[in-house]
C-alpha cells in the first residue's frame, strides 16, 4: 500500500510552546488535506532550537512535556488522530539532564519516543552540556500503512554506529531524520553525500527534514530532501523559506515518488545562498525579538551599504532608520553615497553631524591619536543608542569578519549593536554579495540598491585625514586568505608559512588577530563574572519566548 509522507519545513521560535504547537497543528492539517498519512517535522520544533541552558530549567521541562501531551490530544480533536505526526521536542530527564527526542503522536496520544543518541559537542553545538544521550539500542520504528519507518535525529546520521547501525537489519522501508542543521557555506553537498551513504547502508530511502529560520546567531536553511535507497535525490524543498514537501512510498519497495507536476527547485549559487541566509537571519532576529525597525549609521562605505540593503530586503526599507553622522574627516562623496543609498532603499534617512559633540569632549580632555579616532566612533554609538532608546529600533553593527578579526573597529563605538549581520562575512565576500545583489536587481529590471561607487572606492574608516584601510592592513584578498587559515582552520604559524604566505604578512596578521581577540574578549558587555558566591552565567538564547511570568 502506498504511504504518503509530508516533510514540514517550519520556522519555530525558542520557548514559544504555544505558537510552535499551533504551527504544528496548522501544517499537519495542510499536509493531511494534501493526502499525507505521516507528517515529519524537524528536531525540537516544539521547543525551538537551540534551547541552550533553557533546557535545564525544570519549569520549562515540565511545560514542554505537558504541551506535547496536549498537542497529541489537540491533533485528535482536529480530526487528525489517524495521522502519525513525528516531531522533535524536549524529553524527560535521564539522570540529571533532559533529552532531545522525536515523539510519535497518533490517536490522541504520545505513541513512542525516540531519544537522540549522538550528541554533537563542537563548534556551535554544546549538546553534552544540556542533554543525556539515548541508548543506541532503543530504536523506534513507526508502523504506518504496512511500512516500517525508522527514526533518527540529526547527528545520529553523521556518526557511525548507534541507532542507525542498530536498525540496519530491521528491514526498514524508510528512515525519517529530524534535523536542526544550521547553514554553513557549502554544507548542502555534505548533507547529501552523508544521507546517500546512510540510504545505501540501510537499503531504503531517507527523508531528511530540516528547520528553517534564524535563531540568534544561527540560521537554519531548510533544504529538506528525500533520497531513494540508492542515495539518489528524489525531491527537495527550497532553502530559507517554509515548505511542505510530499512524497509517496510505493508498497512494492520501489523508489519514492513525487506528486504530478512537482519539479526540483533550482540550485542557487553559493553567494546567492549566503545573501539569503543573512537576510533571513536578520529578519528573524528582529521579528522574533519583537522589534519592528532597525537603526544603523550610514557612512557611505560598503559595509553599512550592504547591511542597509540586507535590512531593506528583510523588513522593508521604510523600517530602516539610516543616520549619516559626518565628521570633519568625512569626504563629500561619502555623504553623497550615504544619501543615495538611503534613497534607493527608501530608508528613513537623517543627517546628524557629530562635530559639536566631539568638540565638547575635546574641550574638556586631552584626547589625541587613536584615542581621538575611538572618540568619534563612540560619539556615533551614543547618538545611535539614543535613537534606539527613544524610538525603539534595534541597533545594527555593520562590521565585517575581516575587520573585526584584526581589531579594525572601536569597542563601544562602531562595534556597538544588538546584531551584526556581517560579523561572519569576510570583506571579500562583502564585495561579492554587494555586486550579486545589485546585478540581481539589474537583471530584474530594478534599480540596484547599493551605489556602485560604494562598491568600487577604496575602503576607509575616515577617522583621520586621508585614512585608508590599506595604511594599516594587507590587501583584503591576502588578508582573508590568511584569516581563513588562521581563524577558520586553526592553522599555526609554521603551517601558514608552509602554505606559502610570506613571513611579514603572517607576522602582522597573527599579531593583529591575537591582539583583537584578546581585546574583544577583554571588553565583553556582560562584564566578567568572578564566580564568587555563584556560578558563571548560564547560556540562554537571546530570542527566547519562554517567560516564567506568563
| CB neighbourhood size of 37 (10 A) | 20
* Residues annotated catalytic, as ranges: 43, 116, 154
* 304 among annotated binding-site residues: yes
From the list 243, 156, 133, 269, the residue with the least C-alpha distance to 202 is: 156
Strands 294-297 and 394-395: parallel
Sheet holding 141-144, edge to edge: 141-144, 147-153, 174-179, 206-210, 225-227, 233-236
* 267 among annotated binding-site residues: no
Q: Of 421, 451, 459, 474, which one interacts with its own copies (CB under 8 A)?
A: 421
Site size toward its own copies, by CB under 8 A: 116
* 299 among annotated binding-site residues: yes
* 483 among annotated binding-site residues: no
For position 389 contacting its own copies by CB under 8 A, the verdict is: yes
For position 77 contacting its own copies by CB under 8 A, the verdict is: no
Binding pattern for the stretch 460-499 against its own copies, x by CB under 8 A and - elsewhere: --------------------------xxx-xxxxxx----
From the list 9, 425, 509, 45, the residue with the least C-alpha distance to 225 is: 9
Q: Of 169, 332, 466, 548, which one interacts with its own copies (CB under 8 A)?
A: 548
The three three-digit cell numbers of residue 424, written as one number: 561572519
CB of 216 to its own copies, least distance (A): 7
Contact 239, 272 (CB under 8 A): no
Please say which residue, 468 or 519, places its beta carbon nearer to its own copies: 519
C-alpha 115/C-alpha 140 separation (Å) is: 9
For position 269 contacting its own copies by CB under 8 A, the verdict is: no
Q: Is 492 exposed, middle or buried (0-12, 13-18, 19+ CB in 10 A)?
A: exposed
Per DSSP, the three-state class of 155 is helix
Q: Of 42, 281, 317, 474, which one interacts with its own copies (CB under 8 A)?
A: 281
- Choose the binding region for its own copies from 25-33, 59-67, 69-77, 226-234 (rule: CB under 8 A): 59-67
C-alpha 66/C-alpha 163 separation (Å) is: 27
C-alpha 384/C-alpha 346 separation (Å) is: 19
* Placement of cell 530504536 in the chain: 139
* 278 among annotated binding-site residues: no
Binding pattern for the stretch 288-307 against its own copies, x by CB under 8 A and - elsewhere: -x------------------
What residues between 426 and 455 interact with its own copies by CB under 8 A? 426, 429
For position 425 contacting its own copies by CB under 8 A, the verdict is: yes
Per DSSP, the three-state class of 33 is helix
For position 504 contacting its own copies by CB under 8 A, the verdict is: no
Calculate the dihedral angle through the C-alpha atoms of 321, 324, 325, 329, rounding to the nearest 10 degrees. Answer: 160
Contact 215, 48 (CB under 8 A): yes
Please say which residue, 225 or 285, places its beta carbon nearer to its own copies: 285
What residues between 195 and 214 interact with its own copies by CB under 8 A? 214
For position 247 contacting its own copies by CB under 8 A, the verdict is: no
For position 511 contacting its own copies by CB under 8 A, the verdict is: yes
CB of 244 to its own copies, least distance (A): 26
Element housing 32 (H / E): helix 17-33
Residue numbers in the known binding site for deamido-NAD(+) are 374, 403, 519
Residue numbers in the known binding site for ATP are 297-304, 398
Residue numbers in the known binding site for L-glutamine are 122, 181, 187
Amino acid at each position: 500500500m502506498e504511504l504518503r509522507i509530508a516533510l514540514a519545513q517550519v520556522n519555530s521560535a525558542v520557548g514559544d510552546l504555544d505558537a510552535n504547537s499551533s504551527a504544528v497543528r496548522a501544517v499537519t492539517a495542510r499536509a493531511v488535506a494534501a493526502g499525507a498519512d505521516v507528517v515529519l517535522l524537524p528536531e525540537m520544533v516544539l521547543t525551538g532550537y537551540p534551547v541552550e541552558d533553557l533546557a535545564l530549567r525544570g519549569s520549562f521541562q515540565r511545560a514542554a512535556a505537558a504541551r506535547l501531551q496536549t498537542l497529541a490530544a489537540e491533533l485528535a480533536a482536529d480530526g487528525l488522530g489517524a495521522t502519525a505526526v513525528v516531531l522533535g521536542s524536549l524529553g524527560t530527564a535521564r539522570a540529571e539532564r533532559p533529552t532531545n527526542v522525536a515523539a510519535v503522536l497518533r490517536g490522541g496520544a504520545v505513541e513512542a519516543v525516540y531519544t537522540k543518541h549522538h550528541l554533537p559537542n563542537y563548534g556551535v553545538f554544546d549538546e553534552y552540556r544540556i542533554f543525556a544521550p539515548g541508548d543506541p539500542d532503543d530504536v523506534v520504528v513507526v508502523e504506518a500503512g504496512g511500512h516500517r519507518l525508522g527514526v533518527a535525529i540529526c547527528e545520529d546520521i553523521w556518526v557511525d554506529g548507534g541507532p542507525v547501525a542498530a536498525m540496519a537489519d530491521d528491514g526498514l522501508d524508510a528512515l525519517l531524520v529530524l534535523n536542526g542543521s544550521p547553514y554553513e557555506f557549502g554544507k548542502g553537498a555534505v548533507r547529501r553525500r552523508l544521507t546517500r551513504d546512510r540510504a545505501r547502508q540501510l537499503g531504503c530511502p531517507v527523508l531528511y527534514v530540516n528547520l528553517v529560520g534564524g535563531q540568534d546567531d544561527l540560521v537554519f536553511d531548510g533544504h529538506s530532501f528525500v533520497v531513494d535507497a540508492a542515495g539518489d535525490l528524489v525531491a527537495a524543498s527550497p532553502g530559507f523559506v517554509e515548505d511542505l514537501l510530499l512524497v509517496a512510498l510505493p508498497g512494492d519497495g520501489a523508489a519514492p515518488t513525487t506528486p504530478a507536476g512537482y519539479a526540483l527547485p533550482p540550485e542557487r549559487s553559493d553567494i546567492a545562498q549566503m545573501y539569503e541566509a543573512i537576510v533571513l537571519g536578520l529578519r528573524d532576529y528582529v521579528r522574533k525579538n519583537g522589534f519592528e525597525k532597525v537603526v544603523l549609521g550610514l557612512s557611505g562605505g560598503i559595509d553599512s551599504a550592504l547591511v542597509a540593503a540586507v535590512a531593506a530586503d528583510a523588513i522593508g526599507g521604510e523600517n530602516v532608520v539610516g543616520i549619516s553622522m559626518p565628521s570633519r574627516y568625512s569626504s563629500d562623496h561619502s555623504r553623497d553615497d550615504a544619501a543615495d543609498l538611503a534613497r534607493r532603499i527608501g530608508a528613513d534617512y537623517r543627517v546628524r553631524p557629530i562635530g559639536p559633540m566631539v568638540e565638547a569632549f575635546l574641550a574638556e580632555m586631552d584626547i589625541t591619536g587613536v584615542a581621538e579616532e575611538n572618540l568619534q566612533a563612540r560619539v556615533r554609538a551614543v547618538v545611535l543608542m539614543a535613537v534606539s532608546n527613544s524610538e525603539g529600533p534595534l541597533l545594527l553593527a555593520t562590521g565585517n569578519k575581516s575587520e573585526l578579526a584584526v581589531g579594525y573597529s572601536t569597542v563601544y563605538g562602531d562595534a556597538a549593536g544588538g546584531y551584526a549581520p556581517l560579523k561572519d562575512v569576510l570583506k571579500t565576500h562583502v564585495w561579492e554579495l554587494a555586486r550579486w545583489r545589485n546585478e540581481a536587481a539589474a537583471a530584474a529590471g530594478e534599480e540596484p540598491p547599493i551605489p556602485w561607487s560604494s562598491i568600487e572606492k577604496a575602503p576607509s574608516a575616515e577617522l583621520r585625514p586621508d585614512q585608508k584601510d590599506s595604511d594599516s592592513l594587507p590587501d583584503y584578498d591576502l588578508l582573508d586568505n590568511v584569516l581563513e587559515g588562521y581563524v577558520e582552520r586553526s592553522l599555526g604559524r609554521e603551517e601558514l608559512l608552509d602554505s606559502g604566505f610570506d613571513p611579514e604578512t603572517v607576522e602582522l596578521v597573527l599579531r593583529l588577530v591575537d591582539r583583537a581577540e584578546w581585546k574583544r574578549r577583554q571588553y565583553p558587555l556582560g562584564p566578567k563574572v568572578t564566580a564568587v558566591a555563584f556560578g558563571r552565567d548560564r547560556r540562554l538564547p537571546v530570542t527566547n519566548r519562554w517567560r516564567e511570568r506568563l
